[in-house]
A = this chain, B = another copy of it.
Amino acid sequence: MTHSDIASILEGLRRSPLNAPVRLAVMVILVYRGEIEFNELQKILGVKPGLLWSHIEKLHRDGLVVYKRRFTARGPRLTIRATSKGVMETLGYIRLLRSLLSTAPERAADAMIVEQREDDKLGQAPG
């Protein structure tokens, strides 16, 4: 992997609306599940409704999800679904992440040994 590869992967990750863990998790679940109700999504993710809603709105503004309200015997329900653009964006983001992660070793044994030996020699602040 060349320098320009890593730079372009990083630019793709930074520019994506999915560069926040909650939005990435929402889109991964939507791509997997097709559609989901807000209440269930909130339970799965374990985040506060207001926080989740702000992320859903951001995804909606960027054209990655659509939602609709339904009225049921148990009250109103909000159903969320990924758009074609959202599915493509999510798969593209996952591809970029996997490319970035592929540059890291599975185990850090060598890195750890070098690093622990050298730690004390490095200052904690710039000179």
Copies of this protein, total: 2
**Secondary structure type dominating chain A contacts:** helix
Q: Shortest 9 CB-CB distances between A and B: which pairs?
A: A7-B46, A13-B21, A66-B122, A69-B127, A28-B104, A3-B44, A87-B108, A14-B21, A10-B25
Number of interface residues of A (CB under 8 A): 63
Q: How far is the CA of A21 from the CA of B126 in the complex (A)?
A: 24
Across-interface contacts of A46 in B (CB, < 8 A): 3-4, 6-8, 10-11
* A64 shortest CB reach to chain B, Å: 11
Determine if B115 and A34 form an interchain contact, defined as CB atoms under 8 angstroms apart: yes
In the complex formed, the residue of B with least CB distance to A101 is: B94
